[in-house]
Structures are given as C-alpha cells and as structure tokens.
Amino acid sequence: MTTPSLNPQDENLLRELAPQVLGSMMRRYSDFAAAEDAVQEALIAAAAQWPVEGVPNNPRGWLIHVAIRRMTDHLRAELARRRREAIVVMQDEQIAPAADSAMEADQDDTLILLFMCCHSALTRASAIALTLRAVGGLTTTEIASAFLVPEATMAQRISRAKQRIKSSGVPFSMPSEAERAERLSAVLHVLYLIFNEGYTSSEGPDLQRTDLSDEAIRLTRAVHHLLPDDTEVAGLLALMLLTDARRAARTGAEGELIPLAEQDRSKWNRRAIEEGVALLTEILPRGAVGPYQVQAAIAAVHDEAARVEDTDWPQILGLYGLLERMSANPMVTLNLAIARAMVHGPASGLELLATLEERLAGHHRLHAVRAHFLEMSGDLAGAIAEYRIAAGRTTSIPEQHYLLTRAARLTPYVLN
C-alpha cells in the first residue's frame, strides 16, 4: 500500500506558503523556535491530509489555523510545566492572541525570515540548515539526507540555530536601511552555498538526494520577486540558472566529471540559458555591477558558445580581470590565469600562477591548473607529475578520479 502524496504543484504551494505562515506566526508569538516547530507540524499535517481530503479553499489560512492550534497546545503545556515548577508567569494573553490587526505583509515576512536565518550570529552550516527548514519548508529528514548526516544530528543543528537566534534577540522586523545591504549579502551568500552544495554533488545515481540546487534557485527567485530592482539578486539568480543549465552534461554515466571543454552541449538546458541571459541583458546596462553579475556574465559567455572552440576567451579574460578588481582572492586569480592561458598561451598562464605560489601553497587547484597548462605546452611528463600531486591533495573523490584519469591518459605518450 502506498500513502497518497502531494503532487508537485501542491508541494510547491506548500513550500511557498511555509515562510508566509511562519511570518504570520512570528507576528503573533515572539518565540521563534516554538513558532517554527508549529509551522513544521502544520506542513506535515497538510502533506498527510491534502492528498486525501483535497487542498482547502484557503490553504494559507488552513496552515495558520493548524499552526496556531499546535502553538496553543505547546503554550498550554509550557504554562502547566511552569505552574508545576511554581514559577507562575501568566502569559495567558499569548494563548488567545489578538487577531491580526495590521495588514499582514506576507511578502516582507519571507524576506525578514531570510534575514533572520542567515544572521551572522550563526555558523554557515546552521544558517544553511535553518534557511532550508524555516524558509524552504524542507523537513529535517530531507535536509539531513541532503548533507549526509544522521537526522538526529541535523535536528540538533537546527534546534541550536533557533536557540541562538532567540538568545541573540534578533527582532522579527526588517533591518534598517543602513544594515540592509550587509544582511542581504549574507542571505545571497547562504543561497549561493546551498546552490553549490547541490550542484557540485549531483552525480548520476544519487537520485534520492534532495535537490538543493533547485531549492536554492526557487528561494533566489523568490528574493528576486521581492526585490526586483536589486541587480545582485538578479545576478545571483542568473548565475545559478546559467550554471545549472550545464548540469546534465557535467557528469557521465558513472558519475565521472566531464570538463566544460568536453561536455555534450546539446544536453545543456536551453530554457535556463535563455532565462539567465535575459536577466543579465536587463540588469547589466543599469550600472553598479557586482560580483554575482560578473560571474553570471562569465557563465553566459561559456553557455553561448555552440562549440568549445567558439568560446569568447578574450571576453572571459576581461570579465575575470573585472572580478579580480572587485573581490581579489586567489581563486579568482587562478581563473584569470586559465583565461590568460586560453588567450595568450600556456606560458602566460604559468607566469601568473607563479605569483600565487605563496597564497595557494599546496592547494590542489594550483597543481591541477598548472598540470593543464603544462599539458597545453607539451610538457607531458611535467603535467603528469602535477596531475598526480593534485589528485593526492583534493578531498573530493570525483575530482580525484578525474585528475588520476587525466594523468593516466598521458602516460602512454611519455617515454620512461
């Protein structure tokens, strides 16, 4: 016997409503942890009842109603406990909350929640978990399976994060104008990490893994919808779409990594590329270009090349130069070196790599890129040695396989 489950459309509806319902609860009760638990229970009840009884006429009201009931039970139990402990703090007004007097700003609530979940008081891992649960409406089980940790561990991580927010006294309100840019950039960073986690770990047979990339795209789309004028939000959404478009082509049948240059471009998702390019076309002329937009523009240049040899490397080189001026970090310089090698030849790339020796000492990426340059320049023995060093240092299994294969491919051409 199979339990009826929600169809994808209703599931999306539920996920969309989750942060709104939580926002509405936060306006009634100040206890974030308890409100979040109540909403989660309401979502689980909906997932069980809706497939049988049908989606209610006012799904949002239904969820709020159920969540309030759970919250009331919780507060009653809490009150009884306190009475037992003889610390009688009357909070009856919380049990029968006043109906919403103010107009509820559902949309703002989603944003406020995101600001809260991505707060700097939390570690990265906690912010990610809390965002997926409170804003994304994923269950703890789903999040745990996505990060390959036991469910109890993830439950604790989420509950710790909620306590942390509670004790840091972050109010449930929109941050001030002055704070907003900084808080938004923390939100975008968390969304970017969620996307990357999903994108880079999606390999062939791993179908049960909750699709974090899709979730990140969905959440970023929601933020873009709320802040349509923010060009970095649009830039991040474009970057995700343009990167995700290549997903089906980046791993082979055995889950092995296929480098960009060797991907079957017919497998790229044209619709995602078109959407990403359209977003960029709209925002780039507005000026004030930020790092996400530049990275999206680089992804767009790759995606628009029908064949690898059509890639407009001079343009990519220019964009990496721009990115380096915006946010100098050795990884950007490493990519700049790749673009330089593609435009001016491997010697030029190697020259730039030499300047990274100190900052990226021992990092496997430095060796992997050097191996590619040596291979390009015909120094196969040197390339093999560097591929092997890189393979020994990466902590990613698919990447290690890729690097070892790369070295092994060259060995027949080298005389021992």
Q: Which SS3 state, helix, strand or coil, does residue 122 take? A: coil
Residue 148 corresponds to which tokens in the numbers above? 């390959």
Minimum distance of other proteins from residue 308's CB (angstroms): 13
- Helix (H) or strand (E) holding 127, with range, is helix 124-130
Please, which residue, 233 or 257, has the CB nearer to other proteins? Answer: 257
Please, which residue, 82 or 209, has the CB nearer to other proteins? Answer: 209
Please, which residue, 110 or 210, has the CB nearer to other proteins? Answer: 210
Whole-angstrom Cα distance, residue 373 to residue 142? 41
List, in order, residues 6 or more apart from 308 with CB less than 8 Å away. 260, 261, 262, 265
Nearest Cα residue to 228 out of 276, 272, 283 = 283
Residues 83, 91, 100, 150: which binds other proteins (CB under 8 A)?
150
> Per CB under 8 A, which region of 74-82, 83-91, 143-151, 376-384 contacts other proteins?
143-151
Positions in 258-277 near other proteins (CB under 8 A): 259-260
Indicate whether 151 belongs to the interface with other proteins (CB under 8 A).
no
Binding mask 377-396 for other proteins (x = CB under 8 A): -----------------xxx
Q: Rg of the chain's alpha carbons, rounded to an integer? A: 25
Indicate whether 325 belongs to the interface with other proteins (CB under 8 A).
no
In the numeric block, the tokens 């999606």 are attached to 202
Q: What is the DSSP letter of 133?
A: I
β-strand partners of 257: 251
Indicate whether 308 belongs to the interface with other proteins (CB under 8 A).
no
Residues 72, 94, 107, 196: which binds other proteins (CB under 8 A)?
196
Indicate whether 200 belongs to the interface with other proteins (CB under 8 A).
yes
Indicate whether 402 belongs to the interface with other proteins (CB under 8 A).
yes
Distance of CA 23 to the CA centre of its chain: 22
Indicate whether 359 belongs to the interface with other proteins (CB under 8 A).
no
Are the C-beta atoms of residues 41 and 70 closer than 8 Å to each other?
yes
Distance of CA 298 to the CA centre of its chain: 19
Are the C-beta atoms of residues 256 and 312 closer than 8 Å to each other?
no
Indicate whether 408 belongs to the interface with other proteins (CB under 8 A).
no
Residues 124, 225, 267, 270: which binds other proteins (CB under 8 A)?
124
Please, which residue, 68 or 374, has the CB nearer to other proteins? Answer: 374
Whole-angstrom Cα distance, residue 24 to residue 102? 11
Please, which residue, 138 or 283, has the CB nearer to other proteins? Answer: 138
Indicate whether 148 belongs to the interface with other proteins (CB under 8 A).
yes
Minimum distance of other proteins from residue 349's CB (angstroms): 15
Indicate whether 250 belongs to the interface with other proteins (CB under 8 A).
yes
Positions in 152-171 near other proteins (CB under 8 A): 152-160
Q: Categorise residue 168: left if φ over 0, alpha if ψ from -120 to 50, beta otherwise.
A: alpha
Alpha helix (H) residue ranges in 104-246: 106-117, 124-130, 140-146, 151-168, 177-201, 212-226, 231-244
Would you tell me which residues interact with other proteins (CB under 8 A)? 123-126, 129, 147-150, 152-160, 196-197, 199-201, 243, 250, 257, 259-260, 365, 368, 394-400, 402
